[in-house]
Structure 1
């Protein structure tokens, strides 16, 4: 991994030099745009609408336009801002971990301590673990002031940026002002479905089916080109509309389906054991 930023965690008078690394990465198949007729790559040019010249990226600055006037902000202007110059991750408070709304969580970053800062880094990590608290921190990264939650993941301090209040939309759905009547039987059947699917979350049990299918498609296209029969590769698509069921009927069928699947799974697990016992007797 490559560090994207360096700074210092500060809590009280303690300062911990750290390197910041992106904690996540995309697994998507990288695609680019081409001209469908000849496969030529589509490229975008940065063209000035005043002089008509193609402008190199390093010659591009940012600007603010209020409708009447335009002010250009150079990289030097932006770097002169105090928040941008300050490479400090300031701990502003420690809050109960359950007070962090998951809707506010944004990007995740790992914090690696400098070798000489391992002791204060470990101290902060252990305090967060033992108190079940999350540190709310403030810092500037990539020309933005960030609010973030700092917590422990395994033996590493993890920083997760938080959305600001005005970045979280409030739900306003008129349809929810009416509460439908739910019968006791419907609640019972729904609870049975929940019970049949109850489990401990294991992220490794899930895969991104779309990306897997996309990779299969790309590999098949590389091998067979335009002669590829996608129907044969992925099977025919069923476009028939599903029957519309009322809620009670849908719940009943769901429960029956889960019971049948559970019975089939139990038989499959029992079969090897039964075969093993038969071999022992023989």
Structure 2
């Protein structure tokens, strides 16, 4: 039993002699070992599979089995190879392009603005007489002042006493977009604006 330090971390290890080599097996410290029964309530007890289940498991394992060839597996990160390739390119006098900086994270405020613009875009065609498109950008949807129309003002119906189902029927008749996802208050607001 021994300890050693690797990457600023101390490890507990077991050193063994196997086939003329010294091997090192990393172990867990006592405080790192937890009892599953203490951590996860309701673990199932031991149970035996039926003969059919065992046979099916064996068939599945046989179907997925393959011969082990370590040459088929490579380190996909390959950091050392990339650095060596950059060094060789620099030695050869080639220009080495710097990596593009990471994209700036977008804030939640921008998401809210995009959602508002989406809602306005969905409502927009009714007031402007145009057609709705999904591919327009947020800048393209900025509202221009609409031309004022002369409309006879009719007394508005009091909708505050209606149930959500009744408001939904009225929203359906008024072709309110997105009505299936609206709350009662949202339906009331949409119908008042329509």
The TM-score normalised by the length of structure 1 is 0.21
More strand by share: 1
TM-score, normalised to structure 2, is 0.28
Higher relative contact order at CA 8 Å, sep ≥6: structure 1 or structure 2?
A: 1
